[in-house]
């Protein structure tokens, strides 16, 4: 009788497959819980105590957000700075901020922003990526988009544009008027500001190349 | 070859995802090495039965 080989033996492959499948299942369950911890939202206390969270609390809208190159990590990271006025206030409470963000999130879903834009990697590239839109210098004090709307602050300029997008030539493919109300626009701007403060490991990659996007460059 | 761990929230999976090398070493440790062990056991069993 020919010598039996382990390689052609069913039991060896069965046991190997059982090991790999079982181990992978455990790893995936662990990964699920590990991810939940990583993406859980921070609290207002974290912001006040300078605790860095990947997703900061909604009250981050009370703070100035800048985009800085992190040489150790090799990409830009959002940095939460001192207090800053947001629609004339810098004392949005946890409840108010959460409510505003919720309105913005529902608005973004109702108006289907992702049909054209990209938010946190989800959506389309027919219109500009909105993940870091708040940090775009074009909406800043000397930016062309802010001066175009005739408003004095970034949030008011963005809210004005969202309410009457078809009046302003911003992009080769102009945004249609979606009937966004003043309240919804405020919520959407809060939603965008909060989104820009999320540490996305440098995504979108090309954002830092916009002139002025990364602090002082 | 080995970069310092710089993730925001340190975790095992963050370390694992630093690059292809850490992933390769990890997968070989948990998949290939136990297969050597299974191979040896099966070989011994076949010799015993044969």
Q: Where in chain B are the domains? A: 20-49
Same-domain pairing of A33 and A57: no
C-alpha to C-alpha distance for A31 and A37, rounded to whole angstroms: 10
pLDDT of the residue at B1: 60
Q: How far out from the chain centre does Cα A190 lie?
A: 12
Question: In this structure, is residue A107 part of a structural domain?
Answer: yes
Can you read off the two tokens belonging to residue A200? 């996305």
A65 and A76 both lie in a single domain? yes
Domain-embedded: residue A84 = yes
Predicted TM-score (pTM) of this structure:
0.81
In chain B, the residue whose alpha carbon lies closest to the alpha carbon of A73 is: B6
Residue A48: which domain range?
Answer: 42-209
pLDDT in tens, A139-192: 998 888 999 999 999 999 999 999 999 999 887 788 999 999 999 999 999 999
The nearest alpha carbon in chain A to B11 belongs to A34
Are residue A84 and residue A171 in the same domain, yes or no? yes
Q: Is residue A47 part of a domain?
A: yes
Whether A158 and A106 share a structural domain: yes
Q: Within a 10 A sphere around the Cβ of A137, how many other Cβ atoms?
A: 18
A139, part of any domain: yes
How many structural domains are present in chain A? 2
A123 and A23 fall within a common domain: no
Residue A34 belongs to some domain of the structure? yes
Residue A2 in domain: no
- Provide the pLDDT confidence category of residue A35 given band limits of 50, 70 and 90: confident
A192/B38 Cα distance (integer angstroms): 54
A137 pLDDT more than 80: yes
**Minimum distance, in Å, between the CA of residue A126 and any CA atom of chain B:** 31
Residues of B in contact with A199 (CB under 8 A): 8
Whether the pLDDT of residue A3 is over 60: the answer is: yes
Are A204 and A131 spatial neighbours (Cβ–Cβ below 8 Å)?
yes
Q: How far is residue A97's CA from residue A134's CA, in Å, rounded to a whole number?
A: 16
Hey, is the C-beta of A20 within 8 angstroms of any chain B C-beta?
Answer: yes
Enter the tokens of residue A80: 């939460």
B42 by DSSP, 3-state: which? helix
* Shared-domain flag, residues A102 and A203: yes
Q: In which element (H, E) is residue A105 found?
A: helix A94-110
- Residue B17 near chain A (CB below 8 Å): no
Instruction: Supply the ipTM of this predicted assembly.
Output: 0.78
Question: How many Å lie between the alpha carbon of A50 and the closest alpha carbon of chain B?
Answer: 13
pLDDT band at B9 (very low <50, low <70, confident <90, very high): low
In this predicted structure, what is the pLDDT of residue A72? Answer: 81
């Amino acid at each position: 009788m020919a010598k039996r080989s382990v390689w052609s033996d069913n039991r060896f492959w069965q046991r190997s497959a059982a090991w790999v499948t079982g181990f992978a299942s455990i790893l995936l369950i662990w990964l699920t819980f590990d991810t939940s911890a990583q993406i859980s939202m921070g609290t207002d206390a974290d912001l006040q105590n300078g605790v860095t969270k990947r997703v900061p609390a909604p009250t981050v809208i009370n703070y100035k957000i800048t985009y800085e190159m992190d040489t150790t990590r090799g990409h830009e990271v959002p940095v939460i700075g001192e207090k800053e006025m947001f629609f004339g206030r810098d004392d949005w409470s946890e409840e108010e901020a959460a409510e505003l963000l919720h309105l913005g999130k529902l608005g973004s879903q109702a108006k289907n922003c992702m049909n054209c834009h990209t938010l946190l990697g989800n959506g389309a590239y027919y219109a500009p990526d909105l993940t870091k839109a708040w940090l775009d210098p074009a909406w800043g004090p000397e930016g062309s988009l802010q001066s175009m709307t005739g408003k004095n602050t970034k949030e008011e300029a963005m809210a004005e544009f969202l309410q009457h997008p078809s009046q302003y030539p911003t992009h080769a493919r102009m945004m249609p008027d979606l009937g966004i109300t003043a309240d919804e626009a405020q919520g959407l701007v809060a939603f965008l500001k909060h989104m820009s403060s999320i540490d996305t490991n440098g995504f979108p990659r090309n954002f830092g190349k916009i002139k002025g996007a990364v602090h002082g460059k | 070859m080995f970069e310092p761990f710089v993730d925001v929230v340190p975790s095992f999976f963050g370390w694992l995802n630093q690059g292809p090398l850490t992933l390769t070493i990890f997968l070989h440790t948990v998949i290939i090495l136990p297969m050597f062990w299974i191979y040896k056991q099966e070989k011994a069993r076949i010799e015993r039965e044969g």
